[in-house]
Amino acid sequence: SAFYMDKYPVTKSLWDTVKAWNGGNGYTYDYAGSGKASTHPVHSIDWYDCVKWCNARSQKEGLTPAYYTDSGLTAVYKTGQVAPYVKWTASGYRLPTEAEWEKAARGGASGQRFPWGNTISWGQANYYAYPSLYAYDVNPTSGYHPTFNDGVYPYTSPVGYFAPNGYGLCEMAGNAWQWCWDWYGSYSSGSQSDPRGPSTGSHRVARGGSWNDYAYYCRSAFRDYFYPTCSYNGIGLRPVLPAGQ
């Protein structure tokens, strides 16, 4: 179904702006969040941090938070590490479901390997090129993106550097993985409408690939997963809002 998504991955600047507000509003995080520059994706944040940050951003903007620590949806999730309850009808920000993320990544196109088509190069995404390994990687040479390989990890790029897909979304492939809501698990064999993944699990889904990943991992269909406590310099986030906001 319809929804809105941030045009760009959350930048270090936006992450810090929300944290500056919620610092006195009861929120705590496992990690402070890092970024190569203010306009680059925030990284080194775990799944729990992202969920709490979405709530903080919602409250900062006067929206109803999506995540709670009780089944009655009265205690806003602000601290600790819990598998929160979700108010799916809330007006506030939340992580996309895996299905929502893939719909957004494809940008309205059908049957394409990447958000823009079936091949990939440095002109389209920030990733680790390896054309001798993948025929659809048409980059002329291998390695990190030369524009961003400055010898200081991570080799992220500023958001909006690459052209948007058909939905106007930038960097849905490469640069930084994006956390999703879902626990990782096998797809159902039957058709589903607006699936939200398994009810339990040990890993949360991340999508999109990063500056440090081969073309294979940047495909719109590729599914990766990490422990929700995982924090490294290749994972960020990109929240969604319900349609009508």
Q: Which residues contact 189 (CB under 8 A, 6 or more apart)?
A: none
Query: Maximum CA pair distance of the chain?
Result: 56
Q: Determine if the pTM surpasses 0.95.
A: yes
Q: What is the pLDDT of residues 187-222, one digit of tens each?
A: 988 999 999 999 999 999 999 999 999 999 999 999
130 pLDDT above the threshold of 70: yes
Q: Give residue 23's pLDDT.
A: 75
Does pLDDT of 73 surpass 80?
yes
pLDDT of 209: 98
Report the C-alpha gap between 239 and 9 in whole angstroms.
8
CA distance 34 to 162: 22
